[in-house]
Amino acid sequence: MALKLLGGRSIAIATAGVLAGSLVAGGFAYASASSAPSLIYGCVNKSTKVLRVVGATTACKKTETRISWNRLGQEGPLGSMGPRGESGPQGDKGDIGPAGPTGDRGPRGVPGLKGTTGPQGEQGPKGETGEQGPKGETGPKGETGPKGETGPKGDTGAKGEQGAAGKDGKDGAPGARGPQGERGPQGPAGRDGKDGKDGRNGGGVSIRTETDSFSGTSGDASCDNDEVVTGGGFSFNGKGYTATASQPSGNGWSVKLAKIDDNRSFADTNTNTNGNGGNGGGGNGNGGGVSGTVYALCAQK
C-alpha cells in the first residue's frame, strides 16, 4: 500500500504486523483503537521509501527518516454489522441511585384471604391498677338459695347483762334431781373479825324472818326500818334452774335464778316473749316455769 505525503511524494507502507488493527483512508492513517488525535510515528526508508510504523520511543535506523502525523482522514462509509459477540463478564454492582419521586397512589387492591390464627402469645406484664369506677346500680334480688347444712357449734359467748324479767309461764312439772356435785376444796381461813359492841342489857337478840314469794327469776325480801338484815335464803321449784346470786341487797335479801341448758351452761333467761312463755322467769315453751320464796333474817337494832 502507498501513502501520499505532503508535497506529492508517495511512500510504501508495510502492513505486515506493524499496522495490524490500524486503518488507512483518503491518504491518512489513524488508529481504530482510539478516536483521539494522538501522534503516529513512523520510519521511512531513504532509498525504498517504505514506511515502517514504530512506537513513540523507537529510534529509526540510519537509512530511515523519522516522521509523525496526527490528522484524521475523512469518515468512511458505515460498514455492515458484524456478528454479535459473546457476553462479557458480569460487571461490579453500581452504587444505589437517589430515590425517585413518590408515585401516585395506586387503586385499592382486592382483599386477601384470611390468614390462619397465630399461636397464643405470652402473657404481658400486669398493668397498673386503674381508678375505681362509679358504683353500679343495685341488681335485682336473686332467688333464695337452698338451706345450707348446719355448721359446727360455736364457742360460748360472753355472758350478757341480765334483762328484764319475762312474764310468768305456766308451771312445769318438777324435774328430776340431778346428781350431787363433787365437794370443792376447803377455802382459806378468814381473818379474825373486830370486837363487837357491847349488847343492850336484857334478854337475847330478837330475830324474825321476813318472807316474800316470787314468780320468775328474781325475788327480794326487805326488813323494817328499825331492823337490820343479818342473813337470808331462798327456796324454789322449777325444772332446770339454778341460783346465780343469793346476797344482801340494801336492808334485805335478794336472790336471782338462771335456766340451765342441755350443755349445763347458763341460758338466756331475760327474753320477754308472748304469753306462751319464752326464755325468762316465767319458763319456756317446753313447760318448766319457776316460783319460790325468798326470806331475810331481820334483827332489832
Its sign, for the CA torsion 31, 32, 35, 36, is: negative
pLDDT confidence band for 273 (50 / 70 / 90)? very low
**Mean of the pLDDT values across residues 188-193?**
73
Q: Rounded distance, CA 98 to CA 144, Å?
A: 79
Whole-prediction pTM: 0.29
Decide which of 280 and 61 is more confident. 61
For the ranges 14-23, 62-71, 262-271, the maximum mean pLDDT occurs at: 62-71
Are 14 and 51 spatial neighbours (Cβ–Cβ below 8 Å)?
A: yes
Smallest CA-to-CA distance from 209 within 128, 134, 299 is with 299
pLDDT tops 60 at residue 196 = no
Smallest CA-to-CA distance from 27 within 64, 65, 71, 66 is with 71
Region of residue 189 (phi > 0: left; psi between -120 and 50: alpha; otherwise: beta) = beta
pLDDT tops 80 at residue 14 = no
**Mean of the pLDDT values across residues 185-204?**
65
pLDDT tops 90 at residue 160 = no
3-state per-residue secondary structure call for 82-125: CCCCCCCCCCCCCCCCCCCCCCCCCCCCCCCCCCCCCCCCCCCC
Q: Rounded distance, CA 160 to CA 144, Å?
A: 33
Decide which of 221 and 199 is more confident. 221
Per-residue pLDDT of 94-118, as tens digits, reads: 888 898 899 888 898 888 888 888 8
User: How high does pLDDT run on average in the chain?
Assistant: 76
Enclosing H/E stretch for 275 = none
pLDDT confidence band for 54 (50 / 70 / 90)? very high
Q: Which amino acid is at 101?
A: P
Every domain of the chain and the residues it spans: 2-69, 207-300
Are 260 and 240 spatial neighbours (Cβ–Cβ below 8 Å)?
A: yes
Q: Rounded distance, CA 300 to CA 205, Å?
A: 7
Q: 13 is written with which cell numbers?
A: 507502507
Per-residue pLDDT of 214-252, as tens digits, reads: 888 899 999 999 999 999 999 998 788 889 999 999 999
pLDDT tops 90 at residue 63 = yes
pLDDT tops 60 at residue 90 = yes
Smallest CA-to-CA distance from 29 within 78, 67, 79, 81 is with 67
SS3 255: strand
pLDDT tops 70 at residue 4 = no
